[in-house]
Amino acid sequence: MKNAPILRGIYSLRDQTGKWCVHIPNLVVTQDFQDNEYNFKNNNEFCEWLISNEHFGYTAIAHYAQGYDSHFTMQFCTANTIKWYTIYNGSNLMLLGITSLDLKIIIVII
């Protein structure tokens, strides 16, 4: 595994007022194996960093992203016509992959 970023405590959310409650990421935190921490102000900033040639072939570990956290990444990919794939165990998301970068995000439940 290349110097894979550990994605932990990924998303801090705020609710947008209105008729529908929409969760909007307002803080994304990642850490690599050298304990370097990276903070992002929104999902687009985070995804532009993660889904880049810099991380070609990486395997990232996401703590409990099977809930809604990984859906923000899938939304970014869809909006930017980036091909992605998933592997499920029943209804539980276990892996999110970005085909063009051979990037894999493994979902870990701790």
Number of CB atoms found within 10 A of residue 52's CB: 12
What pLDDT score does 80 carry?
95
Structure tokens at 79: 């909006």
Structure tokens at 18: 């209105």
Q: What is the largest CA-CA distance in the chain?
A: 45
19 CB-side CA count, 13 A? 0
Q: Within a domain: residue 30?
A: yes
Say if strands 6-16 and 59-63 run parallel, antiparallel, or are unpaired. Answer: parallel
Phi-psi region of 57 (alpha: psi -120 to 50; beta: other; left: phi over 0): left
Query: Which domain range does residue 46 map to?
Result: 6-108
Q: Within a domain: residue 103?
A: yes
Q: Within a domain: residue 48?
A: yes
With a cut of 90, say whether residue 84 has pLDDT above it: yes
- Classified as helix, coil or strand, 7 is strand
Query: What is the value of pTM for the model shown?
Result: 0.78
Q: Within a domain: residue 46?
A: yes
When the pLDDT of each residue in the chain is averaged and rounded to a whole number, the result is 79
Q: Within a domain: residue 77?
A: yes
Instruction: Place 101 in a pLDDT band, splitting at 50, 70 and 90.
Output: very high
% of the chain residues with pLDDT over 70: 73
With a cut of 90, say whether residue 82 has pLDDT above it: yes
The number of domains in the chain is 1
Structure tokens at 10: 């990924």
Q: Within a domain: residue 1?
A: no
